[in-house]
A and B are shown apart, each in its own frame.
Chain A
Amino acid sequence: MEKYNTFKQEGNILIHTRILDAPRDLVWEVWTTPEHIKEWWGPDGFSLTIKSMNVEPGKTWDSIMHGWGRDFDSKVEYLEVKKPSLLSYKHFGESEDYDFTVSVLFEEVEGKTLQTMKSVFKSKEIIEDLNRRFNVIEAGRQTLNRLENYLKISVEK
């Protein structure tokens, strides 16, 4: 089954596949109902408040993620809703350039569900930009950590 778990980049698209040990109808349900999705969605250690969730083309899912002592708004607009095989939505980024669309395909394979998630960004350059900025943020964070440790050591002396 491991062969079904893959990840690759094709230009501006990131593709993630995963085999899930559950019937397709159930997988569909946990993706599309608020009481289920809040049990697994979002970063670890975060909680989720769902303001509204309307799984229909053109309708939205509005929520707030709580974590790291902060609130993060999250909004997606559903594009295609074809129960139980295809769900696609647009994820709103910090600006229009950073919006991306995600399609999740559910297929029945040997009694399990093969889930293929495709995230389509505006361009390959956007992905590269995110890579670069992430790196800058990470580098900045590490520098701050080092400064913090250094200050601690200095104070202890």
Chain B
Amino acid sequence: MAPTRDIFQAIADPTRRQIIGMLARKSLNVNAIAKEFDITRQAVSLHVQFLNDCGLIVIKQQGRERYCEAKLERLKEVTDWVDQYRNYWDNKFDSLQNYLAKIQNKKK
């Protein structure tokens, strides 16, 4: 199913970022996640649902438990423009270096 929410909303919230961090290490059920926070289990459950809607985690039924598993591929979206920026300047600095080599050769 296509994610219904924006990934940037997902990472805008500190609690959700923390949940992603926890799940990146290992899959947990909602109760185990809730234990780590001072907010109610219901509130944690809403954050989990939000992350699920964003496609950042999947919820898997295992017996009576529902386990949350991180799906971090979508986080890649966040890096795209920055990557572009980095590549642009890497390339420009190559041009700069080539140009510097060229004018230094001329001077010799």
Contact = CB atoms under 8 A, between A and B. Distances in A.
Contact of B84 (A16, A20, A134): A134
Given A41-B92, A43-B88, A134 B81 contact: yes
B80 A27 contact: no
Nearest to A16: B89
Interface stretch (A56-64, A66-74, A124-132): A124-132
Contact of B80 (A18, A41, A138): A138
A145 interface: no
The 10 A-B residue pairs whose C-beta atoms are closest, nearest first, are: A131-B81, A134-B81, A22-B100, A40-B95, A18-B93, A130-B81, A40-B99, A40-B96, A7-B86, A39-B99
Contact of B77 (A16, A21, A36, A135): A135
A65 interface: no
Given A14-B85, A135-B80, 10 more contacts: A20-B100, A22-B100, A127-B82, A128-B8, A130-B81, A131-B82, A133-B81, A134-B84, A135-B81, A138-B80
B40 interface: no
Contact of A20 (B7, B96, B103): B96
Contact of B93 (A20, A43, A125): A20
A53 interface: no
A131 B80 contact: yes
B6 interface: yes
Interface in B49-89: 77-82, 84-86, 88-89
